[in-house]
Chain A
Amino acid sequence: MKKNSIVTIAIAFAVLMLNACKKEETTVAPPDPENEVITTVKLVAINVADTTEIVTGQWKDITPNDGNPDVSQARLVLKKNAIYKVSATFLDETKSPAADITTEITERANYHLVCYAPAAGLALTVVRTDYDNNTPKLELGLKTTFTTGGITNGNLQVSLHHQPTGKNGTDCSIGSSDAEVNFSINIM
């Protein structure tokens, strides 16, 4: 046996190894069609005093991993000293038609919080008007009221926070950010 045994074992394993290579790696898994990626944050503002005045703006990055967003429409022009009812929408526009991720955020409202941070100098106050299903109910932030002051310009940071624990409805430093974008606001 001896030498022959080694040779036999060597051949057996060589065969095993060659058979074992099924080349699974040549099939690259495509992006999962069911997985929704936020590509677009959209704000729709309706003037309470004149409901025909509807202002929309959107921050969009259709290729979400490359750092080249389309911010050409990330802008809202609002009237001074006015009150707007604003709703925020989160979309996946890599799909056709676009998938509305806002419905999932609503379903998981208890651990999500949308935050609005106007830059210093921008005469804008944002108040969240909707709530989640926690007891007691905590703010959610998909629906808000924008109250404008005098003529000013500046950025408004809109962020979506995932807060599986510790949500208190106001603290935006908890959890991790699923979205964080800047809208340019012109109050005229």
Chain B
Amino acid sequence: MRNNNAAVTVAFLICLSSPAIAQVCSFRISGTVTDGQRHPVFGAVIRIESDSSKGDITDTAGAFLINNVCSGHTMLTCKADGYSTAIAHIDITGNNKVQFILNADKNQLPDVVINGVKMKDLHTVSHTELKGLELLQTRGKSLGDALKQLPGLNAIQTGPTISKPVIHGLHSNRVLILNNGVRQEGQQWGSEHAPEIDPFVANRIDVVKGAASVRYGADAIGGVVLLEADPLPVHPGISGNLYLVGQSNGQMGTVSGILQGRVGISHNGIGWRVQGTLKRGGNFSTPHYYLKNTGIAEQDMSASAGYKKKGFDVAAYYSLFHTKNGIFEGSHAGNVNDLYNAFARTRPATESIFSYKIARSYQAVSHDLIKVNAGYRFANEGKLELNVARQKDLREEYDISIPYTKEPGLLARPQVSFQLKTHSAELVYTQPAWRSFSGNLGIAGNTQGNVFRGIRYLIPNFRTYNGGVFLIERYTYKKLTFEGGARYDYRWQRVYQRNQTTLETFNTTLTFSNATATGGVIYRIGEHFSLTGNVGTAWRAPSVNELYIHGVHFSDASYQDGDSTLDAERSVNSGISLSGNTKRLRGTLDLYYNSIGNYIYETPQAQPVTLLSGTFPSFKFTQDNVAIRGIDMSVQYDFVTHFTLQSRATIVRGRNLTKNDWLIYMPADRFENGIVYNLHEFKFMEEPYISVEHVGVLRQSRVPPNTDFVAPPAGYSIFNASIGFTSYLKKHKIQSDITVGNFTNVAYRDYLDHFRYYADNIGINFILKTKISF
């Protein structure tokens, strides 16, 4: 199986030589190894053929460094599993930089990574990704916050620490998150329920913008966020990296590290990795005041191990996430009058100072996941993979008011507590490539149990069983790739409730089933451009809160009523994407039109609800036909040497077709423009850069009348600046970045930030990030 017929297909070389010095052995060769899609290749072995003592293995960023290289002609080889060997001939006259771009070894094409899912299961649905330096620059941020800079993405926020990704105007239950190949299952329905995931588990985050239900199952109407770790090490030796992130606002510090290695001989051993993150922050500050009780304390870890022998591989992955997030004290509203009092204030009612203390109210969320996957590659190159996972999500919310009781034990209990356990399994067969055809056939299923143990009732207990079967086929003909897929899903849900008067338990059973399909084509225009078009369908069964919630939602002092007769949402999503990659210009342009039938949303009711605690505006879940369309644009243009212009735009329009009105909570138009100055080397710094960026967000003027408590906030304009470089301490690569966020210290409020009702967004923020690889 392994590649013996060293098919030499290589490689671009970029050699930047310093002036010649006499014959000494003090030169350095550094560089990176990437695959054809420019993803870093980890674990590639680089050797100087004339001197076998000198060489290096690439780190997770695909980087390598060889010291004490002698001058003269040198032949460098680069070998990595699954790729053809690359050879570079260099005349050494100074320090050199070499970039290897490896071609996949055709004899080894179906060789999937040991741990993690294969990327791009759907080729023709628009993608965007975060990796390398761009990912490094988001380190320390929450997942939603990190992704919002990508074109087509926004974040729905509840203050500085709680944010959720929004893809093409859709979020929460309509966006799936995959943690190393497993669907993350938490209480995703709440807008203040952030994903229970540590972004440090991923070395690359891929976002599918569009209908991806065919591959990932129901609910993926908006898109899918895939967090991917690097493959486990395939060569002996221990390596790792350490991230240190400190920021001035909130005086927040984050430490995250990875240690990995391989036990046993190279091709028959066990690769392993452990990873952990600690994060602690205190009260964040706006330009004019502190936000009391907005601290965060987060502890996460993950571990994985994998074994591979001939065609067989098996791997296990475990991750644990725990966070405690303070909720801004000024955001509590017992009823609508409290809410109007809060709106009327220009500053919070109680002045605050900096503190790490997290008092009530706060959220405490734990999530743990264990996954085992096994694969077997048949003699005909077909591959069968089994993925089994179990996860448990526990979400507890502690209100600012402790309950009225004479029992002291009750005072320490959360007002709301949900526990969701999910067991899932997926079996996927990847067919052997046959005459330009490739594809997957899969069967997937899961079961969930939700248990509510709180003091104030919110959503009922339930059990669901979901099953699906799918087929995706691709056919490549010259410059065209066609892709088509179909899937059938079935969902059974039983809800357990207690009659409020008789206190008897009763249950209600609902079933949903739906077929989905996708079809698309990629057309490669020359070497540098490609045009992708896709039409896909997706569906989503109403979630349990949309069906059965009944009561006050404290975060916005509204009274919500579910509707148990809701139907499933169905969408037809069409998109075209043009992407280009030339020497000086890189960019993508996406246009999409997502038509969603039976879109579920809350609609205000004419009569407010009078409770003992006051008057509450009443909302009922209802459904209409809607359409969301938009443009995502991202361009990088190297207009002169060392200077790059970066532009990104996210424009979304949502219409309620049934009511012929705008849709509420659609992201405002967002434009980011920046300029980057980068060099190859400056003194001890390699690849230094300086960048300045402007983020402009317009006012959201397209909102349905009389549905919000206050009008959308004004547009805003903020500036960010960064400076960073790579340096080497002995063999250790150190990447550093200093960013000043909102450096003009502008006070602003964002339409998608729930705290816009109560306070400004955070002000100036100095952030120092360092990544040390060893």
Contact = CB atoms under 8 A, between A and B. Distances in A.
Given A5-B314, A25-B463, A30-B498, A67 B423 contact: no
B22 to A, nearest CB: 58
A34 to B, nearest CB: 4
B480 to A, nearest CB: 36
Given A13-B425, A61-B611, A176 B334 contact: yes
A49 B14 CA distance: 100
B560 to A, nearest CB: 11
Interface stretch (B53-61, B89-97, B235-243, B443-451): B443-451
B753 interface: no
Given A23-B449, A176-B400, A177-B335, A34 B613 contact: no
Given A162-B400, A173-B341, A25 B423 contact: no
A181 B550 CA distance: 21
Interface in A98-112: 99, 101, 103-105
A64 B455 CA distance: 14
Given A17-B423, A24-B451, A104 B404 contact: yes
Contact of B350 (A29, A61, A166, A180): A166
Interface string B20-39: 00000000000000000000
Contact of B388 (A9, A59, A178): A9
B125 to A, nearest CB: 30
Interface string B382-399: 001010101000000000
B614 A159 contact: yes
Nearest to B345: A173
B186 to A, nearest CB: 16
A6 B428 CA distance: 12
Contact of B401 (A16, A31, A178): A178
A159 B557 CA distance: 16
A38 B461 CA distance: 25
Contact of A162 (B334, B390, B452): B334
Given A21-B449, A180-B337, A2 B311 contact: yes
Contacts of B673: none
A26 interface: yes
B277 to A, nearest CB: 28
A86 to B, nearest CB: 19
Given A21-B423, A34-B405, A166-B350, A180 B449 contact: no
B476 to A, nearest CB: 30
B453 A9 contact: no
B401 A176 contact: yes
Contact of A36 (B388, B390, B403, B425): B403
A5 to B, nearest CB: 7
A108 to B, nearest CB: 8
Given A10-B386, A13-B372, A101-B404, A25 B450 contact: yes
B612 A64 contact: yes
A52 interface: no
A120 interface: no
B334 A28 contact: no
B338 A165 contact: no
Best-buried of A9, A31, A38, A165 by chain B (most CB within 10 Å):
A165
A96 interface: no
A34 B461 contact: no
Contacts of B501: 63
Interface in B475-516: 496-498, 500-501, 503, 505, 507
Contacts of B610: 67, 69
B551 interface: yes
A120 to B, nearest CB: 16
B504 to A, nearest CB: 10
A28 B505 contact: yes
B751 interface: no
B612 A41 contact: yes
Nearest to A17: B423
B206 interface: no
Contacts of B376: 2-3, 5-6
A150 interface: no
Nearest to A63: B500
Interface string B348-375: 0110000000001000000000001010
Contacts of A35: 403-405, 410, 455
Given A67-B559, A162-B334, A180-B334, A17 B447 contact: yes
17 contacts: A17-B390, A23-B449, A24-B419, A25-B462, A26-B505, A36-B404, A36-B405, A63-B500, A63-B501, A101-B404, A103-B406, A105-B404, A162-B334, A162-B401, A164-B360, A174-B349, A176-B333
Given A31-B457, A173-B341, A176-B334, 7 more contacts: A5-B312, A10-B386, A38-B612, A65-B457, A67-B559, A92-B404, A99-B406
Interface of A: 1-3, 5-6, 9-10, 13-14, 16-17, 20-32, 34-39, 41, 59, 61, 63-67, 69, 92, 99, 101, 103-105, 159, 161-162, 164-166, 171, 173-181
* Pairs A-B, 3 closest by C-beta atoms: A177-B334, A176-B334, A180-B614
